[in-house]
Structure 1
Amino acid sequence: MSPVMLLIPGMLNDASVWADVVPLLPRDWEVRIADVQTQDSIAAMARDAWAQLADVPAQTPVLLAGFSLGGYVAIEMLAHPQRTLAAAALLSTSPLPETDEGRLGREKTMGAMQANFPKVVEGIVKFGCHEATEAVQERVRQMILAVGCETGLRQTRAIMGRSDHRQALSRLTLPMALLCGAHDRVTPPALTHELAQCLPHAQMHIVPNSGHMLPVQQAQAVATVLSSLHP
């Protein structure tokens, strides 16, 4: 039976972050993309994502894939399942809760965003798109500017309040894939190794020639792994 795949974007992303991946997935899959731009918490994002799957028949396989912030949302969904899932993938994300140092850094970033959002966007693009072409950087830049400062602030606060679900992850048995760009400086490969300690049965893929923006920078590699999750 053909599955439904729910793709969850990252912070300051819209559905276009998955635009290069979707055409490379099996043609008989139904692909849906979660909206994580309006909620005030990771838990609310997860509840709304589950609601996007409410009409899927119980016998239809459902797959999840979350990128960055979307990975936090996928982890929340896995920790509080509302239906059986066939498989899941976590891309460029972390199992760890916010640290005091991380919280201070995000508060500083929020202040900078409010003062000069376009300047912060330039920093995000340069830091997150390591090894990317100018065309890819411009695409990411325009996406972030379109999503906007207010959404970025709301999502940053949500990330700061995320829960620690490592124990819940360790109890999972469904097929899982963990992906990270080899040159990711936002959520470095070490954090994917942390995830792998919680999910020892998961496939782990450190993708060469990519920074943080894995679905944009290495869409084929991402699509190949996602496609392998459902025979």
Structure 2
Amino acid sequence: MPAAAPLRYLQALPRGTDRPRGTLVLVHAFPLNARMWEPQLAIADHGWRVIAPQLRGVDGDQKPPARSVDEYAGDVIDLMDELGIHEAVVGGLSMGGYVTLAMFRHAPRYFLGMVLADTRPQADTPDGVEGRKRMLQLVREKGASAVANEMLPKVLSDAARRNHPDLTERVRGLVLSNSTESIAGAITAMMTRPDSTSLLSTIHCPTLILVGAEDGVTPPALSQDMQRAIGGATLVILPDAGHLSSMEQPAAFNEALAQFLGHRV
């Protein structure tokens, strides 16, 4: 995995010598890493350069973990600058969506388009903050394996866990690749993130909203609310997918993404 200060990243380039049609930057979910986006690297076959940043402190990275979504956002912007990317379609899933919205808040000029997958603009509720605090205690006392056991039933649909044990183990492996410190940092970042609801009406770039029909963490109703708030946004609800829709239904996710990149951007 190549690195450009301060982040490592996955990259896929179009085949042949043609210049890419543009760049797609995809920010990963909690508590995973950039490798969750490996199925989406195939978007390069549609002529796009695909970059999947590995957020700070994740998957063995020795840098201190970020403690806010703004820090994560700044790191991704710095990576884009380092790679000479002046504009891109930027997107993320779940926590990656929080980072995407933070990037837009600070640097909207980088956005050729936006992808918001299985995410929400709202800050955590008081009950949500208490849940994060319990998760912080869990990871500090019992480590990443306890977090994996807690998260898997939430982020994967019942059908996926029942019928695709290989996917369940892949997601578990992505969680276990992260240190206690990086997981705790991400929890703190999510717990303290600002509310981005008022930001939605200022998004004027082409926007794709994706959500799994069986997402219990960020249900489709939240994505429908985002579509109404963002002028001209496209909403795709993916059947038979839970919170990690890009991993449960990669073909359908990629088809929606390719259609958006080909016809809206």
Q: If the TM-score is normalised by the length of the shorter chain, which range does it land in?
A: over 0.9
CA distance in 1, matches of 2:77, 2:256: 23
- Residue pairs, 1:50-69, within 5 angstroms: 50-54=77-81, 55-56=83-84, 58=86, 61-69=87-95
* CA positional deviation for 1:66: 0.6
In the alignment, which residue of structure 2 is the partner of 1:134?
A: 165
Offset at 1:73? 0.4
CA contact (8 A) 2:27 2:93 kept: yes
Q: CA deviation at 1:142?
A: 0.7
CA distance in 2, matches of 1:141, 1:50: 29
CA shift, 1:193, in A, is: 2.1
Q: Distance in 1 between matches of 2:134 and 2:107?
A: 34
CA distance in 2, matches of 1:12, 1:84: 26
Partner of 1:104: 130
Q: Hey, what does 1:83 align to over in structure 2?
A: 109
Question: 1:31 aligns to what SS in structure 2?
Answer: strand
Alpha-carbon distance in structure 1 between the residues aligned to 2:72 and 2:66: 6
Picking from 45, 61, 65, the partner of 2:72 is 45
1:34 aligned partner: 53
The structure, 1 or 2, with the larger RCO (C-alpha pairs under 8 Å, 6+ apart) is 1
**Distance apart, 1:35 and its partner CA:** 2.5
Contact 2:203 2:231 survives alignment (8 Å): no
CA shift at 1:36, angstroms?
A: 2.0
* Secondary structure at the counterpart of residue 237 of structure 2: strand
- Residue identity in the other structure for 1:8: V
Q: Is 1:5 aligned with 2:24?
A: yes
Q: Is the 8 A contact 2:43 2:50 kept in 1?
A: no
Shift of 1:205: 1.1
What are structure 2's unaligned runs of at least 5 residues? 1-19, 57-64
The answer to whether the 8 Å contact 1:87/1:229 transfers is no
* Residue of structure 1 in register with 2:235 after alignment: 204
How many aligned residue pairs are there?
229
Paired AA for residue 92 in structure 2: G
Offset of residue 64 of structure 1: 0.8
Moved more, 76-85 or 90-99: 76-85
- Per mean C-alpha deviation after superposition, the further-off stretch among 16-25 and 151-160 is 16-25
Runs of 4 or more, structure 1, over 3 Å off, are 24-27
2:6 maps to none
The corresponding residue for 1:174 is 205
Match of 1:74 in 2: 100
Give yes or no for contact 1:94–1:194 (8 Å, CA) kept in 2. no
Unmatched runs of 5 consecutive residues or more in structure 1: none
Normalization by structure 2: what TM-score?
Answer: 0.81
The alignment's TM-score, normalised by the length of structure 1, stands at 0.92
- 2-structure distance, mates of 1:141, 1:57: 32
Q: CA shift at 1:11, angstroms? A: 0.8
Where does residue 16 of structure 1 map in the other structure? 35
Structure-2 separation of matches of 1:22 and 1:57: 17
Please say which of residues 167-176 and 219-228 is displaced more in the overlay: 219-228
Offset at residue 152 of structure 1 (A): 1.1
Q: Give the deviation of 1:25 after TM superposition.
A: 4.2
Q: Distance between the aligned counterparts of 2:190 and 2:214, measured in 1?
A: 22
What amino acid maps onto 2:155 in structure 1? G
Give 3-state SS (helix, strand or coil) of 2:97's partner.
helix
Contact 2:212 2:245 in 1 (8 A): yes
